[in-house]
Amino acid sequence: MKTKGMIYAASAAAFWAISGISGQILLQQFSFAANWLVSARMLVSGFVLILISQGSHKGNLFAIFKNPKDALALILFGIFGMYAVQAGFFQTIAFSNASFATIIQFTGPVFIIFYEGFRQRRWPSFQTIFLLLLTFVGMLLLATHGNLHQLIVPKLAIIMGLIAALAIAIYSILPRQLISDYGSLSVVGWGMLIGGTFANLIHPFWHPTGTFTLFSVSQFLIVAIVGTALSFFCYSQSLRYISPSLAGILTAVEPLLSLVFSIIIFQMAFGWIEWVGFLMVFCSILLIQKQL
């Protein structure tokens, strides 16, 4: 059973990584707008997750809206968690690439560490501070190629990536009680729909951009279904067989997979300095996650 859970968690990581690659193809090769991609993806993913949730639990689909406090928390989660993660992630891809977007989003636990320290009124341990410093230096190497006087990654990519990382922290903290009360699939499904509705105020899905071909549509389906609904379903299923900490460690291979896919598919140049920076970020965040 443990092996089954590990396969589910690793599959979720692979699906997330593939989704980022497909997103980069749509944004940079087929000229899709990031805002439209977020609007359409979130609505499709939300509907799929709600259907999966209803099929799995047969509960009252609208129970969460009967409690005004829970409904408000869900709306905040949908906008500042789900939407902000998606928008920040795809905007980062648009300004840079899927690999950098995944790596910088991976630093979300840094914001969780700061939040927990503020909430509990205590300073992080020396080990945690060292890991945070290691993360910062690693990101600096990735963004500058070791030359502190020159950014090789656009500033907007860094800003949007940090927004996505902050949103990951909100995404992780805000819905904890909601998920405990109503189930993860239902909460994330509704969060997707609410975030998607908000996204459509910015760029309605009925005003599409980009070039539509059979291939680009297939890439969109990967982004909307495989990379969101299917990946989250696999992650949720993994928690039935393994602990959240083990699942978190296994899904942490997503940045590595995204990097490998980017090198293979886009022939992305990645020198030894970038590898050092990547390993510094990857290892330090992995150790930080074990403390949460």
Cα 236 from Cα 61, distance rounded (Å): 18
240 contacts: CB under 8 Å, gap ≥ 6: 5
Tokens of 292: 């949460």
292 residues of the chain, pLDDT tens digit each: 678 888 888 888 888 899 999 999 999 999 999 999 999 999 999 998 888 887 766 667 888 999 999 999 999 999 999 999 999 999 999 999 998 898 888 888 888 888 888 888 877 788 888 888 888 888 888 888 777 677 788 899 999 999 999 998 888 888 888 888 888 888 889 999 999 999 999 999 999 989 999 999 999 999 998 888 788 778 777 877 877 666 767 777 888 888 888 888 888 777 888 888 888 888 888 887 776 6
pLDDT tens per residue, range 115-139: 888 888 877 788 888 888 888 888 8
Cα 144 from Cα 159, distance rounded (Å): 15
- The SS3 call for residue 253 is coil
pLDDT for 62 equals: 86
pLDDT for 182 equals: 87
pLDDT for 291 equals: 66
pLDDT for 69 equals: 94
Cα 126 from Cα 133, distance rounded (Å): 11
**Nearest residue to 158 via CA among 209, 95, 227, 231:** 95
Side chain identity, residue 267: Q
pLDDT tens per residue, range 83-104: 999 999 999 999 999 988 988 8
Q: What is the DSSP string of 119-185?
A: HTT-PPPHHHHHHHHHHHHHHHHHHHTT-TT--SS-HHHHHHHHHHHHHHHHHHHTTHHHHHHH-HH
Side chain identity, residue 181: D
pLDDT for 236 equals: 73
Cα 57 from Cα 186, distance rounded (Å): 9
